[in-house]
Amino acid sequence: MDLAGHGDSDHQDEYTVLGIANCISAVADQLGTQTTIVGHSFGGTMSRIAAFTQGADLKGLVLVDSLISDSKGARRSHPQAKSKKHHYASIEAAMKRLASLRIY
């Protein structure tokens, strides 16, 4: 599945960790109790949260290249970037803008 805001998923007005984890849980619910979630990178972090909220209803969880924090207790969430829709006057204007970005 594509996480909200990634891949071929539709745009949402708000993205929250719990909202993304709930989407993963909803898909797992549809698949049944023998479901193993495999999450990569950011998806692994979200899958870990989904597995925590889903508990015993899952067969397993596989994390691939995902951060596992050793922090204890409640953590402050990172500020969410406000989504801006960019509309360019032409394909040339968009290409010029992207060409100006320095990506190393």
The answer to whether residue 97 is domain-embedded is no
The answer to whether residue 84 is domain-embedded is no
Q: Where on the phi/psi map is residue 58: left (φ > 0), alpha (ψ -120 to 50), or beta?
A: beta
The answer to whether residue 10 is domain-embedded is yes
The predicted-structure confidence for 3-49, as pLDDT tens digits, reads as follows 887 778 888 788 888 888 888 888 888 887 788 889 998 889 889 98
Burial of 3 (0-12, 13-18, 19+ CB in 10 A): middle
Distance CA 104, CA 91 (A): 23
Rounded to two decimals, what is the model's pTM? 0.60
Which residues constitute the domain of residue 23? 1-69
The answer to whether residue 82 is domain-embedded is no
The answer to whether residue 60 is domain-embedded is yes
The predicted-structure confidence for 6-15, as pLDDT tens digits, reads as follows 778 888 788 8
The answer to whether residue 87 is domain-embedded is no
Q: Of 29, 34, 32, 23, which Cα lies nearest the Cα of 1?
A: 23
Q: Which two tokens stand for residue 55?
A: 């508990």
Q: How many domains does the chain have?
A: 1
The answer to whether residue 12 is domain-embedded is yes
